[in-house]
Structure 1
Amino acid sequence: MTSSPRQSCGAERDAAGYLPIEEYGALGDGRAVALSGADGSIDWWCVPNIDSPPLFDRLLDPDDGGRFVVAPDRSYTVERRYREDSNVLETVFATEDGRGLLTESLNSGTAGRLPWAELARRMECVEGRMTFAVDLRFSRHWDTVNPYLSRAGHHDLFHVGTVLGLFLRSDNVRIDEMDDTRIRATVTLTAGERATVAIVAGENEPLIVPPIADIDARIDRSDQEWRDWVALLRHDGPHRGELVRSALALKLLLYSPTGAIVAAATTSLPEGIGGPKNWDYRFAWIRDAGYTIKAFLRIGAWGEAKAALTWLLQRLGDGQPQVCYTVGGDRVPPPVELDVPGWRASRPVVLGNIAGDQHQHGIYGDIFETAGRFVACGNVLDSASAETLSHLADECADRWRLKDAGIWELPQDEHYTMSKISCWQALQRAIELVDAGQMPSTCRDRWMRERDRIAAWIDEHCWSEARGAYVMYPGSDMLDASLALAVRFRFDGSDRLARTLDAIDRELGKGAFHYRYSGVEHEEGCFLACTFWMVEARALLGQAERAEAAFTAAMEVLGGCGVGTYAEMIDPETHGFLGNTPQGLTHLAIIQAIATLGGADL
């Protein structure tokens, strides 16, 4: 097994059958993401796309949900990690009779993503003797379909709604039970022997039936493809291992057919156990796309950055930009509640998201920051994109005085300080793009006037000397950890920003981590991205030792959680993960913090 720096972890479900979120590793192929638990159970995989109905959904329904289990047939201990510089996952099971290795991959081909979904799981015995048990059950799509099995020649076919798939296996894998709802199989191996099981699937399309030997070989070929991609990343500073692992996690969230970047791979994992803050994050936010593009640019992932920027600019050409979109570029549907138990009985379980109907001023800053960074890296905007951005700058200049839902997508519109800073950021970057010859200069003077008015408005209305900080919105005494981003945005006034960071640490800090804003600690865990935004901000303000200490403290905790794919939030007491996973904002914030600590240009 390769020496990726991840440690042993447990594999125990609670009495209700739920596995901790941190015990899942993520597999991906540029189109969908599967979550594999430390007990050998794949509990989440939407097929064929990341926003399709799930083929496996035990994550949200431990009793009746679909799952694909490969594990020893007796009690075991487990150690797992990703292969070095790869998204191929390895799990070592140890029983009293021997040690076995499970290697898992959502396979790719030599020319990139395969034109079908291919989930491969290789079992090996490395010591003694081991019997692996396979238990395959399919989702009923929340009681909207009834899966069934059929035969076509020598092949076992499954039908789940519009998905047609094959269960393929090595000759030494014995089928013990097969009916419309379940396939059970076993294979007994001695040292040096191995077997592979796989699923090949598609939606309303004919299927290739690859030889199982070809599927098995593609595990290692996919591993090499991941390594080749990582070799192109630029970062020679400290914490390269953590940066690479977060870059690999972000890569899983890029939907290759369109260039969209989803916020996370799951829906309805709660921000607080038993609470109602359960959202569907399988959509592409303008904010997340902008932040991720910038992170990809900082580490030299040019192809991913360009694909994501093209997707973003195409959305702008469709009229007034939305907060988020489907991976196909359509409007996000409003939430629909499902009659599903939810992770650890946290309901509602939903499809869709309320953000689709919101307005957030932050999209202006996100878009212009992305375009500005793209140009700063030596690239060029086309004339149509430049014209579109010019109209967007005018829109920002017109609308910045209005209330909005803010970065945290709250139901109450306010004059959020961070939203105003984002408008300032947008106009400042627009001016810089004009000065770089990348945008028409017709409205430059107007943008300068509005930029200065925004800065003056913020200083007059949003600063509280009593609090020693910028408050969340005028008239409030609440603090907002997202204001750490103002340092990266190069907002005026380093002294006030430094004092704001100190106030955030005092009042929103909990151990190594931070809550999003005042009063939210009773509803949810600490928001992981906020902590790394704070690290980056302190480094940019010249507080290098303090920034490094904060980064080290956070990563020491996260290093004890799973295999290196991180969720949205963490319980600061138990260090259990909360919220959807893997979470793009978390991983890109880690990348930005590491790059800044290493002295990389913004």
Structure 2
Amino acid sequence: MARRTTVPPASRSDGYVDLRSYGAIGDGRTVALIAEDGSVDWLPIPNLDSVPVFARLLDADGGGAIALSPVDEFTVTRRYVPTTNVLETTFTTGNGVARVTDALVTGVAGRLPWVELARRIEGVSGEVKFRWKVAPGSMLGSASPWIDKTTHGAVIRIDGVTIAVRGIDNGARRSGNQAIAGMFTTSAGSLHQVTVVGTSNEPLHLPDPNNVDRGIDRTIDNWLAWSKEFSYDGPWAEAVQRSALALKLLIFSPTGAIAAAATTSLPESLSGGKNWDYRYAWVRDLAYTVTALTRFGLREETHGSVSWLLRTIRDNGPDLHVFYDLDGGLPGPVESHDVAGWRGSQPVVSGNPAGGQLQLGVYGDLFDVMRRYVEAGNVLDAETGRLLAGVADKTCDFWHRQDHGMWELPDKQHYTSSKMGCWSALDNAVRLCELGQIPGSGARWAAERDAIKEWVEENCWSEERQAYVFFAGSDDLDASVLLHAPSGFERGPRMESTIDALREELGRGALMYRYSGVQSEEATFVSCAFWTASALACVGRHDEAIALMDELVGLANDVGLYSEMIDPDSLDFLGNFPQGLSHLALVNTAITIEELTR
């Protein structure tokens, strides 16, 4: 996946670049976003959910970046080193060609205990003059960097974070009191390197640049070894593997948690307002991820994520929460930051206000995780069995309640997809009981499951619209009901006609809005489009499902990544990036279609 685009230095007329411009790299602890023009515009240190030291993505003037690009006008071609999360960018100027390889370096036994962003620059032909600058920002308006002189050279300090710059033949020099910069010129066969290392509230290791260079190759080998364990040879294999690699970036290796996205506050609409922090672990996303990981034969990640979820539920019980922080705790309050926001979009926040909501669909997500885990050949411990039995009993009571729905809306209603989620929870609980994995009253769970089905069919189906509606008593539609074709709630005529009604009202070409009336507030939701393809396959419309999937796979950016939303007219990306749910929807739709059509 590579395309050639002209990216002149003037492409940042407002200080920002299109979200499609970004590639992502990671080391299991944090993620860096790199624009087509070579600038690292997002890098939290040390963790993905830390306040970002480099945040030009949200604050063009004061956010900070690690810039690296030719001095002269250039064109650029990018790709990932195949089956890795190491990004390779080839810059072409009028005088020569040079290649930049970007990696968040990993160690011999996994992630390093410090952040090590390595940028290897190789001359391919002719000469290319580069300039670079490592300029930490204000940490979203909360601190100011300064340069300290040490016996081992200059370091940059900011609010507990210590950063050093190392490299090979990079012309490094101090740039004022807050940045380090340099210039160099490549020639055919030349090797240069700019490496940024950082820690937070702990000593900083200063690596030997030659070891860093070997570390880039080791990181490539580590990714290749991971991908070798990946098993999928169905349709859209390249897109599926790239999505799996994107999801791997979002797995927080210290705990096994899975972040919903790598960023905060990227807008769902250019008018602003819907700017959220997605650097948390949603139970929903974990459920979909386990489906993919199990299918791909990735045992360690599957077990790590399931164990993290169960441990986190116990530690924060007795109630099941919608999402948790990456360390397994409950999210703190929302904090607003006084910075500009991407292209002026406000607010810029840390935190997400949906943490305290009741979302009944989370019960279905939990049991979907556990059923798939068991059916993959694993056994639940006794304590987990008792915990799940208790949650199933609670679902029997809670399904009668109104909730905030999957979309975390302010108004409580009897949302259709929430009731379907409760049905799925009890259906899976019955199955786990039959398998001898959880104790409890399977008969009661089955009876309540059937009662939910009857209630939904009576209260959430519209004869006039020939569709399942948004919530009981509504005439509006909601694309999240499409999730319950794969869940098994409905794969007959009612789901088929619901698909048609949704595509007519909420569809824009291959894309899909989330629910009725939201078209004026935000762009189309990438996952909903993939869910449509999956639902089409479930109701037997395989040719339509395949054609839609082909079109959607083509909407990724040049390196195969997706954001949360896509503007249906311009195809510009909106929302947080890379978005786990978008990649999960691609993966699980591919798996569903492959299983139903083989």
1:24-103 pair list within 5 angstroms: 24-103=22-101
Task: Give the CA deviation at 1:156.
Answer: 2.2
Structure 1 residue 546 and structure 2 residue 544: aligned?
yes
**Alpha carbons of 1:492 and 1:509: their partners in 2 closer, same or farther (altered >3 Å)?**
closer
Between the aligned partners of 1:530 and 1:419, the Cα distance in structure 2 is 16
Shift of 1:176: 4.2
Deviation of residue 601 (structure 1)?
11
Please point out which of 228, 247, 269 is paired with 1:272.
269
Aligned to 1:387, the other structure's residue is in SS state helix
Residue identity opposite 2:578 in structure 1: P
Q: Look up the equivalent residue of 1:175 and give its one-letter code.
A: A
Is this contact kept in 1: 2:361–2:421, CA < 8 A?
Answer: yes
CA–CA separation in structure 2 for the residues paired with 1:175 and 1:375: 55
In 2, Cα distance between equivalents of 1:114 and 1:50: 14
Letter in 2 for 1:80: R
Task: State whether structure 2 residue 234 is matched by structure 1 residue 243.
Answer: no
| Corresponding pairs, count | 594
2:214 matched to which residue of 1? 217
CA shift digits 1:123-178 (9 cap, x unpaired): 111010011101111111133211111122232211111111211121x2213443
SS of structure 2 residue aligned to 1:478: coil
Conserved in 1, the CA contact under 8 Å of 2:156 and 2:178?
no
- Distance in 2 (CA, whole Å) between partners of 1:100 and 1:569 is 33
Paired residue for 1:258? 255
Find the aligned partners of 1:177 and 1:163 in 2 and give their Cα distance.
18
The match for 1:313 is 310
SS in 1 for 2:82: coil
Alpha-carbon separation, structure 2, partners of 1:146 and 1:62: 16
Is the 2:485–2:491 contact (alpha carbons within 8 Å) kept by the matching residues of 1? no
Aligned partners of 1:479, 1:201: CA distance in 2, in Å? 48
> Residue 317 of structure 1 aligns to a residue in which SS?
helix
Given the alignment, which residue of 179, 184, 189 partners 2:181?
184
Q: Distance in 1 between matches of 2:140 and 2:222?
A: 36
Shift of 1:521: 1.0
Question: Are residues 359 and 56 of structure 1, via their aligned partners in 2, closer, same or farther at CA, if it must alter by over 3 Å?
Answer: same
Query: SS in structure 1 opposite 2:449?
Result: helix
Deviation at 1:434, TM superposition (A): 0.4
TM-superposed deviation, 1:303: 1.0
- Matched residue type, 1:463: W
Q: Post-superposition shift, 1:184? A: 1.7
Compute the displacement of 1:394 (Å).
Answer: 0.8
Q: Which residue number corresponds to residue 595 of structure 1?
A: 591
What do the CA deviations read for 1:362-396 (whole angstroms, capped 9, x no partner)? 11000001100111111111111111101111111
- 1:80 is displaced (CA, Å) by 0.7
1:264, 1:281 within 8 Å by CA — same for their partners in 2?
A: yes
Give me the TM-score of the superposition, normalised by structure 2. 0.97
Q: State the Cα deviation string for residues 433-456 of structure 1 (Å, max 9, x = none).
A: 00011111x321111111111111
SS in 1 for 2:403: coil
CA–CA distance in structure 2, aligned partners of residues 600 and 247 of structure 1:
21
Distance 2:100 2:491 in 1: 54
What SS does the corresponding residue of 1:488 show, helix, strand or coil? coil
C-alpha change, 1:600 and 1:542, in structure 2 (3 Å) is: closer
- 1:323: which partner in 2? 322
Report how far residue 337 of structure 1 moved: 1.6
What secondary structure does 1:593 align onto? helix
Match of 2:283 in 1: 286
The Cα shift of 1:307 comes to 0.7
Do 2:312 and 2:329's aligned partners in 1 also have CA atoms closer than 8 Å? no
Deviations 1:539-564 (A, max 9, x none): 12222111000001112232xx2311
- Counterpart CA distance in 2 for 1:216 and 1:565 is 27
Is 1:562 the counterpart of 2:558? The answer is yes
For residue 373 of structure 2, what is the aligned residue in structure 1?
A: 374
| 8 Å contact from structure 2 (residues 53, 63) kept in 1 | no
User: What code does the residue aligned with 1:411 have?
Assistant: P
The residue that corresponds to 1:394 in the other structure is 393
Q: What is the match of residue 164 of structure 1?
A: 162
CA distance, structure 1, for counterparts of residue 349 and residue 304 of structure 2: 29
RMSD after superposition:
1.4
Residue range with higher mean Cα deviation, 200-209 or 242-251: 200-209
Tell me if the contact between 2:288 and 2:588 (Cα under 8 Å) persists in the aligned partners.
Answer: no
Secondary structure at 1:165 match in 2: strand
- Answering whether residue 410 of structure 2 is matched by residue 414 of structure 1, we say no
Counterparts of 1:388 and 1:395, CA distance in 2:
11
The amino acid of 1:213's aligned partner reads: N
* 1:534 shift after superposition: 1.2
Task: Determine helix, strand or coil for the equivalent of 2:555.
Answer: helix
Alpha-carbon distance in structure 2 between the residues aligned to 1:424 and 1:237: 30
Residue type at the aligned position of 2:535:
A
Where in structure 1 do 4 or more consecutive aligned residues deviate above 4 Å?
Answer: none
Distance (whole Å) between structure 2 residues aligned to residue 84 and residue 284 of structure 1? 28
Question: How many percent identity over aligned positions?
Answer: 43
Say whether residues 1:458 and 2:456 are aligned partners.
Answer: yes
Report the CA distance shift for 1:176/1:73 in structure 2 as closer, same or farther (over 3 A).
farther
- Residue equivalent to 2:108: 110
Offset, 1:596: 1.8
